[in-house]
Amino acid sequence: EDAPRGEGFLADVVADWEHDCAVAAESGVRVVNIRTGLVLGGGAPLLSLLGASSRVGGGRLGSGEQHFPWIGVDDLADIYHRAVVDSSLVGPVNAVAPEDITEGEFAATLAEAQKVRVPLRVPVPAVGPAVLLGKDGAAELALADQHARPVVLSNLGHRFRFTTARDLLAHELG
């Protein structure tokens, strides 16, 4: 939550909306800036695309070494609810699960959850996400190394429903 500002279009959008919220904060209104990780839910576009890739043997995106700051849709709803009712929550809040996982580790966990029998031998080259998201979208979303941690929530003793991708995927994928 206290990391320096990122680069690119999405970082600009976040900086702009947080700047606009500062007006309310300066007038005494409690403001919570929720910075959302990659939202995973059964049938959600992101999970569907990654799942389809792993079912045909596609593994990690790019190097796979980039951090994968995910959040389950149920946990995200809990965080938004808490932002409304908990007056101790204020300022930037990373809405990400506590698990520290790389994209390559996530790809392997997803394949295991789907009971994929095809080995994940084919890394998805950087051009793959660029076709779907555009060059900037791929760089800022799929291939970015965003090591976001839920420090504010953890310090408040927030209880996550799903603390590991394995548990979340078992719930979302059945």
> What's the whole-number mean pLDDT along residues 143-169?
92
- Tell me what pLDDT residue 123 has: 66
pLDDT tens-digit profile of 96-139? 999 999 988 988 888 888 776 655 556 666 666 665 667 776 66
pLDDT, averaged across the chain: 85
- Tell me what pLDDT residue 4 has: 80
> Rounded to whole angstroms, how far apart are CA atoms 69 and 146?
7
The CATH number assigned to the domain with range 9-21+30-173 reads 3.40.50.720
Domains in the chain: boundaries: 9-21+30-173
Q: Above 70 in pLDDT, residue 34?
A: yes
